[in-house]
Amino acid sequence: MADLLFEIGIEELPAGFLQPALDQLRGDFCKKATEHRLEHGSVSVMGTPRRLSLIVQSLAESQPDGSETLMGPSKKAGFDEDGNPTRAALGFAGSKGVDVSELKVAQTEKGEYLMLVREIKGSATYDLLPDLLVDLLLGLSFPKSMKWGGNQNSFARPIQWLVALYDEKIVPFELEGIKSGRQSRGHRFLAPEAIDISTAADYEAQLDGASVIVDVKRRREMVITEIRQAVVDRSLPSGAEVAIDEGLVDTVCNLVEHPFGICGSFDSRFLELPDQVLITSMREHQKYFPVVDVNGDLMANFVAVNNTRVKDPDLTRAGHERVLRARLEDAFFFFSSDKQTSLGDRYDDLSGIIFQSRLGTMLEKSERIVKLSAILAEKFAPAEKELVSRAAKLCKIDLLTDMVGEFPSLQGEMGTAYAVHDNEPALVCEGIREHYLPKRAGAELPISVVGALVGLADRIDSIAGCFGIGQIPTGTADPFGLRRLSLAVIHILEKFDYSLSLSEIFHKALALYGDKVDGGSDTVESVTGFIRGRFINDEVGMGRDPEAVEAATAVDFDDINDCRKRVKALEQVRREDAFGVLAAAFKRIRNIIKDNRDRELQPGLFTETAEKELAGVYEQVAEKVAPLIEARNYSQALEEMLVLKAPVDSFFDSVMVMAEDEKVRQNRLNLLTGIGALFLEVGDISKMSTS
């Protein structure tokens, strides 16, 4: 066995391209190694903006020897009555390059067939690697690729060199005029000379010596060390520290081959800007880290990460400060200019922004959000209806501001800042920001009722509109993010424990669009079915019993929190010993009653002791269960239903349901239908296995 090193040298990759490409490189190699029957040890990937590297330890020197079985014609077709080979047998043997005497007879399900078993000598790994590595390289996909110069193959950036070593030997191949070898490159500025890599084991150390930290994890740790040390070196007041944004650390790590931190400052007047404006100005354009004091408040300082060590830190610091100052001046101008006009006075200007070409403008959307928010507030928070309506009216107006035009990620944040400046009520101000929450799956949810209700109204309006014009997600295509919006609705309703009829609210949401959309029952059913799918995936993803989820959603999915309570109840009752027997009986009941819906019982038609006992227990259980179902105490309701186990067993053991007398038969079916309907108040337990 020997180690393999494969390095793809390229022009600087965008930061977001690096880690996905490394993950794909590792995964694709493992797949190809399995396909080629190549045993290997650990597989690791490393990379910088200028290289993608794969290291495979203990890669077998050859494929294992094996055998293959090739089936031919039937024995009857291969040999005549005298046992002589026919043209079919001779042709099969000849096509495989063997004599007919080497064929064997195999017994199969279809009878006796001719078979050839031949040994396969495993190929040497060194001979397989050239094609395998080329396939790996050409198989890499990026968010954006193109053909460079006269090249025939597309790639994210032009390829500059290729290193391919198996043990100490070069794996020879050529791609687009670039030949593989052992020559890598050091840091573009600190060590630009070529480096001859000895082996995979020496690779990381040799690049270290050339000022390239190729291990992503180690380079990331260095970034954090550097930005913290930069604050210390600047001798700022006690307690000052860099505010670490993990996402920005990842980005910066993938922008440099060797990090060097430097701390700068800016005019304290810029601290008048909202914190998120300052942070966004630093992060999005310049990739700078903010600095905070002991209380967590922003200071007039920042930390930049360079890709090279500088001789004159003061000169470099001044350069960073000059660039940031220009950004902050723009932000300061936008902020001051935006405040000249209140949010309320801009409302009608939303008519100039298109929400969706077939669904109208943002002004029309805002008007619908106001109405939907009022409906929701009337139901869940009547005392705050006025605040909810005001927040709904103002929530989209910051889209008109220069600041959001420059930094779209500040939607909501700027609306809140400007609402504060306009002296809007505190809950209205916070609701504007919170209505965008959660921004992604698993992210922060709204805290205030105002933010939650406006957020629900906004998302319900978008989902209804898109479904109303047939813009339904298919496969991986979801241009309007309806899956994300549906999950947000699910999680907001869960957090605030709101009991909301989906069919009712979507009927109202569609009605607000008028004739722009198809607002019929089929559309509402399509919407609720879509949200049901997201709910099932979400619940199962969080560890819920998949069969309990399916059982609960199969009978009713209109109130998300009610459905969740039924899921939990079904999970709990499944642990009871009696559940397995009762679930099996319920499946039998469902099969017997088929489409019968009649539950009216005539006691005088009960003749068997077992059916009389079952009818009596059923009536008692039904009486106890009704108020529990009404109170949504589903766990207790199911516990009461378990009492039916013994009489149901006895009934099936001694009573013939399909009696000859039509009235007796119907009465028994009605009894079973009533028992089945009890369980269907919670879930279709026939969906749950009894093993």
SS (H, E, C) 468-519: HCCCCCECCECCCCHHHHHHHHHHHHHHHCCCCEHHHHHHHHHHCCHHHCCC
Instruction: Decide if pLDDT at 457 tops 80.
Output: yes
- What is the number of other CB atoms lying within 10 angstroms of the CB of residue 72? 22
C-beta separation of 38 from 59 below 8 A: yes
Close Cβ partners of 493 (under 8 Å, ≥ 6 residues apart): 456, 500, 560, 561
C-beta separation of 647 from 615 below 8 A: no
Kindly state the average pLDDT of the residues 465-491.
92
H or E stretch including 373? helix 362-380
Percent of the chain with pLDDT over 70: 100
Kindly state the average pLDDT of the residues 319-332.
95
pLDDT for 594 equals 82
Kindly state the average pLDDT of the residues 455-462.
97
C-beta separation of 428 from 419 below 8 A: yes
Return contacts of 30-33, CB within 8 angstroms, 24+ apart: 32/132, 32/135, 32/136, 33/59
Close Cβ partners of 342 (under 8 Å, ≥ 6 residues apart): 418, 422
Instruction: Decide if pLDDT at 83 tops 90.
Output: no
C-beta separation of 119 from 67 below 8 A: yes
pLDDT for 653 equals 87
Q: How far apart are CA 217 and CA 328, in angstroms?
A: 33
Q: Per the structure block, which two tokens stand in for 374?
A: 């009022």
C-beta separation of 370 from 392 below 8 A: yes
Reduce the DSSP state of residue 2 to 3 states and report it: strand
Backbone angles phi, psi at 406, to 5 degrees: -80, -40
Q: What is the dihedral of CA 166, 170, 176, 177, to 10 degrees?
A: 180
Kindly state the average pLDDT of the residues 209-234.
96
Provide the pLDDT confidence category of residue 502 given band limits of 50, 70 and 90. Answer: very high
Kindly state the average pLDDT of the residues 321-341.
95
Instruction: Decide if pLDDT at 691 tops 70.
Output: no
Instruction: Decide if pLDDT at 690 tops 70.
Output: no
Close Cβ partners of 293 (under 8 Å, ≥ 6 residues apart): 237, 239, 240, 299
Provide the pLDDT confidence category of residue 496 given band limits of 50, 70 and 90. Answer: very high
Close Cβ partners of 629 (under 8 Å, ≥ 6 residues apart): 637, 681, 682
Nearest CA to 674 among 620, 627, 605? Answer: 620
Kindly state the average pLDDT of the residues 230-240.
92
Q: Worst-scoring range by mean pLDDT, 144-153, 429-438, 547-556, 592-601?
A: 592-601
Instruction: Decide if pLDDT at 586 tops 90.
Output: no
Q: Which residues make beta-bridge pairs with 107?
A: 112
The pLDDT tens digits of the residues spanning 366-396 come to 999 999 999 999 999 999 999 999 999 999 9
Q: Per the structure block, which two tokens stand in for 120?
A: 């396969």
DSSP 122-157: PPBHHHHHHHHHHHHHHH---SS-EE-TT-SSEESS
Provide the pLDDT confidence category of residue 592 given band limits of 50, 70 and 90. Answer: confident
Q: Worst-scoring range by mean pLDDT, 14-23, 63-72, 199-208, 253-262?
A: 63-72
Instruction: Tell which wins on pLDDT, 592 or 242.
Output: 242
Supply the Cα-derived Rg of the chain in whole angstroms.
35
pLDDT for 623 equals 93
The pLDDT tens digits of the residues spanning 259-309 come to 999 999 999 999 999 999 999 999 988 999 999 999 999 999 999 999 999
Nearest CA to 51 among 20, 12, 9? Answer: 9
Instruction: Tell which wins on pLDDT, 527 or 604.
Output: 527
The pLDDT tens digits of the residues spanning 93-103 come to 898 888 888 88
Kindly state the average pLDDT of the residues 516-529.
95
pLDDT for 537 equals 94
Provide the pLDDT confidence category of residue 596 given band limits of 50, 70 and 90. Answer: confident
pLDDT for 461 equals 97
Instruction: Tell which wins on pLDDT, 54 or 591.
Output: 54
Q: Which residues make beta-bridge pairs with 501?
A: 559
C-beta separation of 88 from 78 below 8 A: yes
Q: Worst-scoring range by mean pLDDT, 200-214, 343-357, 576-590, 676-690?
A: 576-590
pLDDT for 110 equals 85
The one-letter amino acid at 488: A
Q: How far apart are CA 409 and CA 488, in angstroms?
A: 18
- What is the number of other CB atoms lying within 10 angstroms of the CB of residue 631? 10
Q: Worst-scoring range by mean pLDDT, 72-86, 539-553, 558-572?
A: 72-86
C-beta separation of 263 from 291 below 8 A: yes
pLDDT for 476 equals 78
DSSP 559-620: BHHHHHHHHHHHHHHTTSHHHHHHHHHHHHHHHHHTT-------GGG--SHHHHHHHHHHHH
User: Which sign, positive or negative, has the C-alpha torsion 547, 549, 550, 554?
Assistant: positive
Q: What is the mean pLDDT of the chain?
A: 93
pLDDT for 109 equals 83
